[in-house]
Structure 1
Amino acid sequence: MASFKFPKHTLLNFLLLLFALSQSFYQLSRLVAADNKLIEIVCHETDMPEVCVQCLTSDPGAETADRLGLTNIVVNCLDNHASSLESNMSNMSSVYKDRSTKKVLLGCSKRYLASKKDLLAAIVSLKSGQFDDAETLVTTTLDRHMSCLKRIKMHKEVKISSKLAYKMKIFEDLCQIADRIIERL
């Protein structure tokens, strides 16, 4: 049977390389753990930490973001949900033949579209350090959403799926999360 003999310096170099790599992975895991700790801290300052963590961990940039960066990510989550809700409401309006039902759904669609514009402005405000302006824009977004919910509840003919109701609840939660995080900047 053949045996392999490695020169001692090759084996030593290999062991040194392994040691160096293991230290790098250890430092990287500590860094990620530290950044995940910030996510946990920021999210536990809100009333809906699970929704907050879900939003933030959906963005790979959250691991290296500071508090302001995490706030931007939450506002981006809101913007994505506003797009989805705007589209859902618009699509639902085409299903109904009743004018007043269409009007309610199209009104909601327009509110989410207006909210998207405000959320983009909120991101600009955050980046320029105008936190009060950003908070006002997010609060306006929440007000529009609540107005939409009120109109849907008042208009009995509008039937929304449990999936859409869940999306709307998450949107409301994200608005409140964003407001709470911005308050602490």
Structure 2
Amino acid sequence: MEIILPLFLLISISFNYMGHRNLVSADDTLIKTQCHNAEVPEACIQCVKSDPRSQSADKVGIATIVITCISNKAVTLESNMTVLALSVHDKDLKLVLQDCQKELSNAKTNLTTAMDRLKSKDYDQTNYLLNHALQKEFDCKKNVGDLQYTLPTTVLNDMTIYEELSEAAMRIIDRFL
């Protein structure tokens, strides 16, 4: 009798551990499958895996996490534009950077609305809002470039990730239709 109880506990723990491991593996597979069609799947996978919700996320949950990452990048970029606008002396550039800050703030609002539309299964509107938020970032980059100003590398890297994740989210959501 003394041996049976510890043996039972050991077997129970072993099955529990193996079951959990398979669950995580299945979640990793779903994440990779959803992110696979993105131009840069690594950015999508890294974003999703960085969120604790990913371990229990379905397809819509994964799309929600990616939109959250995009939204976080929009906040970072908005802050960067504010700091840059304060540091430049050229009036035209200052105005463009301030406009970028406002547009990225609007993009954040679009992304919040996109998440609401995603939850209500309005996938066309979700992608429309994602595309609109992405266009605001493209316009900012173009307007700054038109003034022959080179943004700092860290800001350009954040913009690239913003673009990659936006494209990934739209492709993930396209497959819901």
AA matched with 1:175: S
Match of 1:148 in 2: 140
Structure 1 counterpart of 2:166: 175
Work out the number of aligned pairs and report it.
Answer: 176
Matched, 1:162 2:150: no
Q: 2:90 aligns to what? A: 98
Structure 1 consecutive aligned stretches of length 4 or more whose deviation exceeds 6 Å = none
Alpha-carbon offset, residue 104 of structure 1 = 1.0
Alignment equivalent of 1:54, drawn from 37, 46, 50: 46
Matches for 1:36-51 after TM superposition, within 5 Å: 36-51=28-43
1:15 aligns with 2:7: yes
Q: How far off its partner does 1:99 sit?
A: 1.1
Quick one: which amino acid aligns to residue 184 of structure 1? R
Structure 1: runs of 5 or more not aligned: 1-8
RMSD of aligned Cα (Å): 0.9
AA of the residue aligned to 1:181? I
CA deviations over 1:148-168 (Å, ceiling 9, x no partner)? 110111112x33211111111
* TM-score, length-scaled by structure 2: 0.97
Q: What's the secondary structure of 2:39's corresponding residue?
A: coil
**Residue deviations 1:4-54 (CA, integer Å, cap 9, x gap):** xxxxx2232112101100100000000110111000100112211100101
Q: Deviations over 1:121-179 (max 9, x none)?
A: 000000011110000000001111110110111112x3321111111110111111111
- Give TM-score scaled by structure 1 length: 0.93
User: Larger RCO: Structure 1 or Structure 2 (Cα < 8 Å, ≥ 6 residues apart)?
Assistant: 2
What is the CA distance between 1:81 and its match in structure 2? 0.4
Q: Compare CA radii of gyration and give the structure with the larger one.
A: 1
Q: Which residue identity is paired with 1:155? A: L
Match of 1:4 in 2: none
